[in-house]
A and B are shown apart, each in its own frame.
Chain A
Amino acid sequence: MIYQDSKTLLEVRGLRATVNGIEILKGIDLTVRSGEIHAIMGTNGSGKSTLAKVLAGHNAYKVTGGSVTFEGGNLFDLEPEERARAGLFLAFQYPIEIPGVANSHFLRLAYNTVQAQRGKEELDPLEFEDFVREKMKLLEMNPDFLDRGVNEGFSGGEKKRNEILQMALLEPRLAILDETDSGLDIDALKSVTNGVNQLTNKDNATILVTHYQRLLNYIVPDYVHVMESGRIIKTGGKELALELETRGYDWVSVEQRTAARV
């Protein structure tokens, strides 16, 4: 939702980044204010996940230009864990498995770290157990997943749910959900989007990376951005997603190239 008195949470200006010496992000501009929901769409390989990981602070990506301000401070001054504690959250497109680390233990560590940062109460294992089970109910998630290794042997959809469970626990200011809808069955999509909707309010913001307009029926975006070759080439309202669904991406790049020539 767009609010009058919103604050700027994220300000990306001319962001450039490389991986293995190859430039992937070629000047991204994006402003996200509190209360807003942004959707980023675009062809495979256009750089959506790269943008997400650069914002989260993955060390494989090198920032070569531009600036990112998060809640008024320079994002690049923060280590990945400091970004997380400051309220930046990335739900990964491909969450990895960490065998041997119990999911419940990991979730509690993450929760308590962020709680401590916010000067709030940390929970012992028993208290946390009750707390996390409530959150899992919200996402219609089986509590058995607590006893397994982090994402170990989880199905694709189960991993995505586990990502949203982490979001629910950490209550971020800015959540970037990278194709969280891919791999979810219809029922899962409903419970996951329902969970996300319950978490959004006028103080936080969400960036949804998706290929499917369907997701945007459940979580209604205020802005839709189209990304191509490391740039955002078009921004519109939620109706842009519908147009992309029927017309594809070609016309956007044609339009963009024509505009550039003028």
Chain B
Amino acid sequence: MSLSMVTGSSYLESLLQGQPQLPSSPLAWLNQLRADAVERASTLKVPTTRDEEWRFTDISPLSNLSFQPVRAESSLSIADAEKFYLEEAAIRLVFVDGVYAPQLSGQPHGTKDVGLVVTNLSEAVAAHAAAIEPHLGRYAGFQDNVFAALNTAFLHDGALILVPRSVVVEKPVHLLFIATQKEVASHPRCLLIAESGSAVTIVEDYVSLQEDAYVTNAVTEIALADNAQVDHIRVQRDSNEAFHIANCAVSLAHASRYRSVSVALGARISRYNLNTLLAAEGAECAIDGLALITGRQLADTHTCIDHAKPHGTSTQSHKCIVDGAAHAVFNGKIVVRPDAQRTDSSQSSRNLLLNAKARVDTKPQLEIFADDVKCAHGATVGQLDNEEVFYLKSRGLSEITARNLLTYAFGAEIIDRISIASLKHRLEQTVLEQTQRN
């Protein structure tokens, strides 16, 4: 059966047919995983705005362009890549148009962390098969998710991070995805396994060299064992012409803690799905996000925090600063299952519109099936607070200065939660540049 007969979508068809011949793995389970994903990708359709989950996000422009997997070797120089490096990072993995770039990757500071593995997934999968198999593809399900299915079908290069039991990695791990070519589709994959009592900070960073149209379709899976701690910083600064689709799935075991700060700055259309499952007692997650967009950009964030067991804690603060005729979407689902008594959850969605043409659609979605829970949530959409502007003006600040200061502060509140000084500083600069008027 040829793929084109079942896909019903020329876009998916072209993507699947363009798939490079992945060497068949000696690992039967891996071949099976890919085959299942190809099968699903062939049956699923590209979502339209008729799908509830994609109501506000029209990705049809995606299918109007033809995107190929990368063929040509990129001519990226070290100098081009260097400007994205983080001085604090202990280890850096670089992927260029989705392909692992060993010459750009490395351990600038070395690492003394015994047994820590940070490497290219496709090369390490055989050596670490026993550790990987129980996790890879287990969290980011692709049964109903065509993008996760495609990513898994193409599963090859990607980041593998294994943090052994009780190892605390002091310095951050930087995963840098650089786009250099237009009309290319890349499918980055990350798998982070934090064993019990371990701790690590990862930076998942999407950047581009030019203002080209390309597709990034990323999948990240993070498994935290008992008492593990993961700090996940995600920066999407793709080209303003690009399409960025990403699925991240996190599973938290007993008393583990997951903290994430995601910043969406780039892409013509971006969609980030973040699903966290508090799968055991006493798990804790803090999920913060900032979308800072302008022009005709659309940034859509869908999160789901699933409290499955008792005594879980979750906090979430999502902010959007929307300028021009841009459009931000936030859907924050919180599920508290019948078993998850004593859950403490709070969510806030605050949105700032800087232009009459800017638009925000925000929706909290609470599904609470336990009775002994604390769930607070709130959403605001609007302009700057009149009283705050007046207070600053009453001290001599001009209207413009007052507004700039307040807009900056609105975004900086999220950026300030990033623990890496150089990255924080860089993002603060970006917020400054994008919010200041004169």
On whether the two chains bind one another, the answer is yes
Task: State the A residues within 8 Å of B (CB).
Answer: 56-60, 79-81, 83-85, 89-90, 92, 95-96, 98-101, 105-106, 109-110, 113-114, 117, 149-150, 166, 170
Q: Which residues of B contact A170 (CB under 8 A)?
A: 395-396
- A150 smallest CB distance to B (angstroms): 8
Take A98-B388, A100-B413 as given contacts and tell me if A80 and B405 are in contact as well, using a CB distance cutoff of 8 Å.
Answer: no
In the assembly, what is the distance between CA of A95 and CA of B31, in Å? 65
Does A101 contact B406, Cβ atoms closer than 8 Å? Answer: yes
In the assembly, what is the distance between CA of A100 and CA of B317, in Å? 14
Q: Which residues of A contact B243 (CB under 8 A)?
A: none
Whether a CB of chain A sits under 8 angstroms from the CB of B145 is no
Does B395 contact A100, Cβ atoms closer than 8 Å? Answer: no
Q: Which of A58, A99, A166 contacts B395 (CB 8 A)?
A: A166
- B405 smallest CB distance to A (angstroms): 6
Specify the chain B residue showing the minimal Cβ separation from A102.
B409
Does A100 contact B409, Cβ atoms closer than 8 Å? Answer: yes
Q: Which residues of B contact A105 (CB under 8 A)?
A: 405
- B431 smallest CB distance to A (angstroms): 11
Task: State the B residues within 8 Å of A (CB).
Answer: 386-388, 390-399, 401-402, 405-406, 408-410, 412-413
Q: Which of B386, B387, B398, B410 contacts A81 (CB 8 A)?
A: B398
Inter-chain pairs besides A79-B399, A96-B391, A99-B409, 4 sampled, C-beta below 8 Å: A84-B393, A101-B405, A113-B396, A113-B397
In the assembly, what is the distance between CA of A114 and CA of B396, in Å? 7
7 sample A-B contacts, Cβ–Cβ < 8 Å, listed by A number? A81-B402, A92-B394, A98-B392, A100-B413, A101-B406, A101-B409, A113-B398
In the assembly, what is the distance between CA of A100 and CA of B387, in Å? 15
- A76 smallest CB distance to B (angstroms): 15
Max count, chain A CB within 10 A of own CB: residue among B386, B392, B395, B397: B395
Does A96 contact B387, Cβ atoms closer than 8 Å? Answer: yes
In the assembly, what is the distance between CA of A81 and CA of B396, in Å? 4
Give the A-B pair count, Cβ closer than 8 A: 73
In the assembly, what is the distance between CA of A149 and CA of B405, in Å? 12
Q: Which residues of A contact B408 (CB under 8 A)?
A: 100
Does B393 contact A81, Cβ atoms closer than 8 Å? Answer: yes
Closest 9 CB pairs of A and B: A100-B409, A110-B395, A84-B396, A113-B396, A80-B393, A81-B393, A100-B413, A101-B409, A85-B396
Q: Which residues of A contact B395 (CB under 8 A)?
A: 84, 106, 109-110, 113, 166, 170
Q: Which residues of A contact B394 (CB under 8 A)?
A: 56-57, 80-81, 83-84, 89-90, 92
Specify the chain A residue showing the minimal Cβ separation from B401.
A109
Does A100 contact B412, Cβ atoms closer than 8 Å? Answer: yes
- A166 smallest CB distance to B (angstroms): 6
- B168 smallest CB distance to A (angstroms): 29
- B376 smallest CB distance to A (angstroms): 17
Max count, chain B CB within 10 A of own CB: residue among A56, A106, A117: A106
Q: Which residues of A contact B396 (CB under 8 A)?
A: 81, 84-85, 110, 113-114, 117, 170
In the assembly, what is the distance between CA of A234 and CA of B409, in Å? 46
- B268 smallest CB distance to A (angstroms): 29
Q: Which residues of A contact B410 (CB under 8 A)?
A: 100
Specify the chain A residue showing the minimal Cβ separation from B400.
A81
- B432 smallest CB distance to A (angstroms): 13
Q: Which residues of B contact A117 (CB under 8 A)?
A: 396
